A and B are shown apart, each in its own frame.
Chain A
Amino acid sequence: AQSVTQLDSQVPVFEEAPVELRCNYSSSVSVYLFWYVQYPNQGLQLLLKYLSGSTLVKGINGFEAEFNKSQTSFHLRKPSVHISDTAEYFCAVSENSGNTPLVFGKGTRLSVIA
């Protein structure tokens, strides 16, 4: 079984500052890794995903994440945040075979301060 740990429940950051949202995972099998963003009372929007290949993954809205197998991490970063990035961010993992469900971390609330 897989598990995901998001180390920070809340991250406040000033506008135009860089941010890193941390994610660690645990799995006995090879996995796919995902980051989703959720705005209030909405579903989830995919920011980026790691399947294989290059460990640096670029996503939408200027976000990127780096897969580190030795540290079992998949931290999300953005060099300069905007007010509109204020939202809940979820890291998730799935097995890389079959139609298995996503397992989510508890989420990180990113609050961008003007």
Chain B
Amino acid sequence: GAVVSQHPSWVICKSGTSVKIECRSLDFQATTMFWYRQFPKQSLMLMATSNEGSKATYEQGVEKDKFLINHASLTLSTLTVTSAHPEDSSFYICSATKPGTGGAYGYTFGSGTRLTVV
């Protein structure tokens, strides 16, 4: 199977600080990973598509300077929330799929990170 590990599961930080969230594909190489944000009782909204070795592609309305994405290896993508504010509090989830399969393999999701900014 395919396993995606996301860390940390939850984090509380002070307003103005930065938080890094890691997403790792444990048993496969993921050239593409996706980052989603989920507000309480709402659906998942795509924030950005992370491609190994290149710049991430951000969805309209997502501040790329606030949500820094780095995909430096085939198994790791990171999302850094810079200068976090209370409105950044949310549930962040990453997902990955095996390269070359499109969606046929299925999208494996991390367990999510609950970010609370105080």
Residues of chain A whose beta carbon lies under 8 Å from any beta carbon of chain B: 32, 34, 36, 41-46, 49, 51, 90, 92, 94-107, 109
In the assembled complex, B54 has its CB within 8 A of some CB on chain A: no
Given A104-B43, A105-B43, A106-B42, answer yes or no on A34-B97 (Cβ-Cβ < 8 Å).
no
In contact, A101 and B46 (Cβ under 8 angstroms): yes
In the assembled complex, B18 has its CB within 8 A of some CB on chain A: no
**A-facing mask of B2-35, CB < 8 A → 1, else 0?**
0000100010000000000000000000011010
Chosen A-B contacts, 29 in total, with CB atoms closer than 8 Å, are A41-B10, A41-B112, A41-B114, A43-B93, A43-B112, A44-B93, A44-B95, A90-B44, A94-B107, A95-B102, A95-B103, A96-B102, A96-B103, A96-B104, A97-B102, A98-B102, A99-B31, A99-B32, A99-B97, A99-B102, A100-B103, A101-B49, A102-B34, A102-B107, A104-B43, A104-B44, A105-B43, A106-B43, A109-B41
A91 to chain B, nearest CB (A): 10
Interface size class of B (residues with CB under 8 A): 20 to 34
**A-facing mask of B87-118, CB < 8 A → 1, else 0?**
00001010101010111101111111010000
Instruction: Give A42 to B102 CA distance when docked, in angstroms.
Output: 24
B12 to chain A, nearest CB (A): 14
User: Could you say which residues of chain A place their CB within 8 Å of the CB of B32?
Assistant: 99
Q: How many A-B residue pairs have CB under 8 A?
A: 71
B108 to chain A, nearest CB (A): 8
In contact, A101 and B34 (Cβ under 8 angstroms): yes
User: Could you say which residues of chain A place their CB within 8 Å of the CB of B44?
Assistant: 44, 90, 102, 104
Instruction: Give A30 to B93 CA distance when docked, in angstroms.
Output: 26
User: Could you say which residues of chain A place their CB within 8 Å of the CB of B93?
Assistant: 43-44
In contact, B107 and A42 (Cβ under 8 angstroms): no
B60 to chain A, nearest CB (A): 12
User: Could you say which residues of chain B place their CB within 8 Å of the CB of A42?
Assistant: 111-112
Instruction: Give A11 to B44 CA distance when docked, in angstroms.
Output: 19
User: Could you say which residues of chain B place their CB within 8 Å of the CB of A100?
Assistant: 102-103
Instruction: Give A103 to B34 CA distance when docked, in angstroms.
Output: 11
Instruction: Give A36 to B112 CA distance when docked, in angstroms.
Output: 14
User: Could you say which residues of chain B place their CB within 8 Å of the CB of A102?
Assistant: 34, 44, 46, 95, 103, 107
